[in-house]
Structure 1
Amino acid sequence: MIEHEFTAALWRWQARDEETSGSWFFVSLPFDVADAIEDETGPRKGFGSVRVEVSVGGSTWRTSVFPSAEEKTFVLPVKKAVRIAEGLAEGASCRVRVRTV
């Protein structure tokens, strides 16, 4: 398992469904990090998600990154508890450490 570090801006997903729109926040992985994760994990099933452990500031959690056709890279969901704990608002840049698990 290789660890990757990068800085990315937090963005809000705009759903077609008004009820869920605005409730999901993500960061997009840089293309080189996404390529390295693809090389590390090989073929994937289902939605193509990859299990990862993530650290942002003092918060660490396990989740998955998901391939996004719109972003043309993997996207990483950032849950509300982390956004609050780290003081992250939409558009804020954050330092991310991610490794596959």
Structure 2
Amino acid sequence: MSVDTLEYEFEGEVWLWSGKKTDWWFVTMPQDMSAHAQHFTKHVQRGFKSLKVNARIGDSEWQTSMFPSKERNSYLLPIKKAIRDAEGVTVGKPQTVKVTVLGL
């Protein structure tokens, strides 16, 4: 089976992870979509099984990597500050996210 494009659209609540030096903002991909993505992307997974993706929230689009979380059994999408500012993203507010896996 050949997969040319993997695109996912979902709504997720923005949450905050506080690190020692900085805070990280994330949206969690639903578990069923994460399982699908992991199954069909083994050949393009990078370090830590991350996936290079193009992401979109509202009118803002950026490239980043999604990382799998064992605790959540899902991929995590980090949201850059520039995107948060441009789209009025706040912690606890659901966001509609579109993700396209790159490198297939």
TM-score (norm 1): 0.88
Identical positions, percent: 38
Q: CA deviation at 1:9?
A: 0.4
Shift of residue 70 of structure 1? 2.1
**Aligned structure 1 segments of 4 or more residues deviating by more than 2 angstroms:** 43-46
1:64 Cα deviation from its structure 2 partner: 0.7
- TM-score, normalising length: structure 2: 0.86
The aligned counterpart of 1:47 is 48
Gaps of 5+ in 1: none
Bigger shift: residues 45-54 or 79-88:
45-54
What residue in structure 2 maps to residue 31 of structure 1?
Answer: 31
Residue in 1 that maps onto 2:57: 56
Match of 2:8 among 4, 12, 15: 4
Cα separation, 2, equivalents of 1:52 and 1:96: 12
- The amino acid across from 1:14 in the alignment is S
Displacement after TM superposition at 1:92 (Å): 0.7
Q: How big is the shift at 1:76?
A: 0.4
For 2:46 and 2:55, the matched residues in 1 are separated by 21
Amino acid paired to 2:15: W
RMSD, matched Cα: 1.3
Match of 2:17 in 1: 13
**2:99 is matched with which residue?**
98
| Structure 1 CA distance for aligned equivalents of residues 83 and 65 of structure 2 | 15
- Structure 2: stretches of 5+ with no match in the other structure: none
The 3 A distance-change label for structure 1 pair 45 and 5 is: closer
